[in-house]
């Protein structure tokens, strides 16, 4: 039952004009003025439920939820069965639950709604508020069912499309979530949260250009929206617009100066820029400059040290490359890739003894690294350690039994040990595999 209904039933009350005026102020979101107006009405007639309900709504608008609850309770003292007062009390109890992190208030709100629905199972406001309480309790599926139920029975229902969008996003139904947010934005086109959520879901389907436009609209309305700056930066990064990405991260960092995570985002952009220069442009020297920017921000950034080592290796600056790979294993002792790169450089420069040690470390870090095993076997064979060479070739063959080169190398090692018949069998196997 709405305020207007109560007004029509209390035309003799001196509070009625104040209730009408307060309702008009509520419609214009003039909540402070509405509180004063409804309060004047209550002073004239303390038994006027419409004024108590209206004042409670005004207090909700002001974020004074405990005061609002007092108002709805006073309305229910007058008429315990007033469905609007009951529904509004359920609503404010949910808001108090959110404010105080008190789920018991939400459960109380559900009980109030159940009381209404027991009398009138199709009462839309109660179905909606019960859905909102269940949503707050994390019961998303049950809440959506209730929202959909109201939607079927009332064409005027203000469906919570924003919640439906979040629900579908969580279920990874991204295209459906986009449609839900479109519905929500039709009603609230300037809501920064809705603009942010639409941008976020567009990122999930690869719509980075569109996502950027939504984040920009969001930030125009709410410039201090840190999460929007962050996802704007991420979108720019994916599109290769690195300068814009860094600017966005710097904006987020300025707003959230207590956090260090934005340094990592910026450092990673420089890392990506370096890799672009190294692999796409084929410019190792330019790449090193970007990797150095990453390292200046995060001195122990192992991925940057590794990439810098690769760049130096391409420039044949092997001493510098090795120094970079050593920095990697200092911070990441289990990085088999760095040991492998060092082993290759040491082998290339004739330092077989150190190369063997690095290949051994590679295999220790990555027991499936057959390339390291094969190279290690060859170096051991060159040094006359045929027994261990064969052991490493066997490890390769355990993992890759169809490797013709491993069978051939094992045959050579057996031959050098004087095991000619065994060697011949390996050579024969290698030949058959190679001619398949």
Range of the domain at 422: 367-436
Non-local (6+) Cβ contacts of 168 within 8 A are: 174, 176, 177, 180
Residue 343 forms part of a structural domain: yes
Q: Does residue 264 have a pLDDT over 50?
A: yes
Q: What would the mean pLDDT of 87-101 be, rounded to a whole number?
A: 95
pLDDT in tens, 147-193: 999 999 888 999 999 999 999 999 999 999 999 999 999 999 999 99
Residues 314 and 332 grouped into a single domain: yes
Considering the domain boundaries, does residue 237 fall inside one? no
Classify residue 430: in a domain, yes or no.
Answer: yes
In which band, very low, low, confident or very high, does the pLDDT at 13 lie, cut at 50, 70 and 90? confident
Calpha distance 140→170 (Å, rounded): 10
The answer on 330 and 296 residing in a single domain is: yes
pLDDT digits (tens, 9 = 90+) for 117-129: 999 999 999 999 9
Closest Cα partner for 22 from 48, 40, 2? 40
The domain boundary, picked from 359, 385, 411, lies at 359
Q: What percent of the chain is modeled with pLDDT above 90? A: 94
Report if residue 229 sits inside a domain. Answer: no
DSSP string, 259-313: --HHHHHHHHHHHHHHHIIIIIS--HHHHHHHHHHHHHH-TT-HHHHHHHHHHHH
Count of domains observed in the chain = 2
Residues 280-307, mean pLDDT to the nearest whole number: 96
The answer to whether residue 8 scores a pLDDT higher than 60 is no
Residues 225-242 pLDDT 10s = 999 999 999 999 999 999
Answer whether residue 346 is part of any domain.
yes
Query: What gap in Å lies between CA 114 and CA 94, rounded to an integer?
Result: 14
Domain for residue 98, yes or no?
A: no
Cα-based distances in Å from 196 to 8, 217, 226: 44, 9, 11
Domain stops at, among 297, 331, 359: 359
Are 354 and 377 contained in the same domain? Answer: no
Same domain, 319 and 379: no
Band of residue 11 on the pLDDT scale cut at 50, 70, 90: low
Dist. CA 93–CA 96, nearest whole Å: 5
Angle formed by the axes of helices 161-170 and 140-153, nearest 10°? 140
299, 328, 359 - which closes a domain: 359
Average pLDDT estimate for 304-311: 98
Does the pTM surpass 0.85? The reply is no
205-223: b or e for each residue (b if 16 or more CB lie within 10 Å)? eebbebbbebbebbbeebe
CB 389: neighbour CB atoms within 10 A? Answer: 25
6 has pLDDT over 50: no
Flag whether 303 is in a domain: yes
């Amino acid at each position: 039952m709405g305020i207007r209904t109560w007004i029509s039933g209390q035309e003799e009350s001196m509070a009625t004009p104040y209730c009408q005026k307060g309702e008009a102020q509520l419609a214009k979101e003039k909540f402070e003025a509405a509180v004063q107006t409804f309060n004047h009405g209550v002073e004239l007639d303390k038994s006027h439920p419409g004024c108590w309900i209206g004042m409670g709504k005004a207090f909700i608008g002001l974020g004074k939820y405990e005061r609002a609850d007092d108002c709805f309770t006073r309305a229910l003292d007058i008429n315990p069965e007033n469905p609007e007062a009951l529904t509004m009390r359920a609503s404010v109890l949910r808001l108090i639950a959110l404010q105080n992190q008190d789920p018991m208030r939400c459960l109380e709100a559900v009980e109030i709604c159940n009381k209404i629905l027991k009398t009138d199972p199709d009462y839309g406001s109660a179905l909606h508020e019960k859905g909102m309480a269940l949503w707050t309790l994390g019961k998303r599926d049950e809440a959506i069912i209730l929202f959909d139920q109201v939607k079927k029975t009332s064409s005027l229902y203000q469906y919570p499309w924003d919640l439906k969008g979040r629900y579908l996003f969580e279920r990874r139904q991204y295209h459906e979530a986009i449609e839900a947010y479109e519905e929500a934005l039709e009603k609230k086109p300037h809501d920064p949260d809705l603009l942010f959520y639409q941008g976020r879901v567009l990122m999930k389907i690869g719509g980075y250009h569109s996502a950027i436009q939504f984040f920009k609209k969001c930030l125009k309305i709410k410039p201090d929206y840190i999460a929007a700056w962050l996802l704007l930066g991420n979108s720019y990064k994916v599109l290769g617009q690195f300068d814009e990405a860094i600017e966005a991260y710097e904006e987020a960092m300025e707003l959230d100066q207590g956090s260090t995570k934005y340094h990592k985002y910026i450092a990673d952009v420089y890392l990506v820029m370096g890799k672009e220069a190294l692999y796409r442009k084929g410019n190792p020297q330019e790449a090193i400059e970007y990797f150095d920017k990453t390292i200046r921000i995060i001195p122990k950034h192992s991925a940057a040290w590794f990439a810098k080592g690769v760049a130096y290796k391409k420039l044949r600056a092997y001493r510098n490359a090795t120094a970079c790979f050593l920095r990697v294993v200092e911070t990441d002792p289990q990085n088999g890739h760095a040991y492998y790169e060092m082993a290759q450089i040491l082998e290339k420069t004739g330092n077989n003894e150190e190369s063997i040690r690095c290949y051994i470390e590679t295999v220790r870090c990555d027991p499936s690294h057959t390339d390291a095993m094969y190279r290690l076997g060859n170096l051991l064979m060159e040094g006359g350690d045929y027994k261990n060479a064969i052991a490493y070739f066997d490890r390769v063959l355990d993992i890759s039994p169809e490797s013709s080169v491993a069978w051939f190398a094992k045959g050579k090692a057996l031959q050098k040990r004087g095991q000619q018949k065994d060697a011949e069998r390996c050579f024969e196997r290698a030949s058959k595999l190679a001619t398949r």
